[in-house]
Amino acid sequence: MVRKISWAALCVLSGLVAAPAWASAVLQCVPYARIVSGVALRGDALTWWEQAENRYKRGNRPEKGAVLAFRPNGPMVLGHVAVVSRVLDDRRVLIRHANWSVPGAIEEDVLTIDVSPDGDWSQVRVWNSPTNQMGARMNPTYGFIYPVKAKLHDFTPDPALGSSVRFARADADRWDDGAVPTATAKSRTVAEPMLARAAMERTRKDSRKGAPRLEPDMMAVAFADSTPSQRSLSAIIADVKRDAVLN
């Protein structure tokens, strides 16, 4: 029988899924990104940026099919990789990635916003499907790795890669209207808070409209609820309190 679990608890789990404890049990971000993007790199996500040197072009401009490489940050000790599925504007893209909001979960066409002061995609916020809003944590990145040929490949679940569930598929067209304001020379020092507030306000408006449409898979909830955390209760409570302040 599936026990009830709060979305707030799942939000906390989003910071844990890239840790080594999950590595042998669930689908990781690396094989998913490799298959979907066609970028033939292996090893931990944090090594992809250096591995790509002299093999793939790299940069700080989003392009469809490019891999966004995340730096290690907090409990996300191995970094993270995601694939750009659509560029909405200079500050907003949709991504496809695995093992982010819930262990082993696949999320497709969800929003990611550039909140870096210089607009160079060095710091982003990522949509959190369980809470139906932008994640509270700012995530530093290396930049984008561009495949030889930009193409989104289908991903077929394979037990050999670890267990996985398609937790959410957002309606990609829902993100088309609205844009995140860009920083000016005068406002650059407060650009990130301004962008974050704009993202939150857009999320609240979208929630009132009942969008984006998501397809939650309760198997993911059951998995998250039954899988033991490797962190202490006090550490989890501290994360919840911090995220509440950031929100």
Domain presence at residue 44 = yes
Domain presence at residue 4 = no
93 DSSP β-pair partners? 87, 112
Q: Residue 179 is part of a domain; what is its CATH number?
A: 3.90.1720.10
* Whole-number Cα distances in Å, 133 to 30, 77, 196: 24, 24, 12
* CB contact set of 75 (below 8 Å; sequence gap of 6+): 15, 16, 18, 19, 231
- Structural domain count, the chain: 1
Domain presence at residue 196 = yes
Angle at 13 between CA 8 and CA 15, to 5 degrees: 115
Domain presence at residue 193 = yes
Name which of 42-56, 76-90, 215-229 the model is least confident about: 215-229
Task: Give residue 41's pLDDT.
Answer: 97
Domain presence at residue 10 = no
Q: With CA atoms as reference, report the closest residue to 36 among 84, 74, 99.
A: 84
Domain presence at residue 166 = yes
Task: Give residue 22's pLDDT.
Answer: 41
79: left (phi over 0), alpha (psi -120 to 50) or beta: left
Q: Positive or negative CA dihedral for 216, 101, 23, 122?
A: positive
Give the pair of three-digit tokens for residue 82. 């995601």
State the residue range of the domain holding 102.
17-246
Q: Which helix (H) or strand (E) holds 52?
A: helix 48-52
- Report the predicted TM-score, pTM, of the whole model to 2 decimal places: 0.64
pLDDT-derived band at 224, boundaries 50, 70, 90: very low
Domain presence at residue 132 = yes
pLDDT tens per residue across span 187-205: 333 333 444 455 455 545 5
pLDDT tens per residue across span 73-85: 988 999 999 999 9
Domain presence at residue 6 = no
Distance CA 190, CA 168 (A): 33
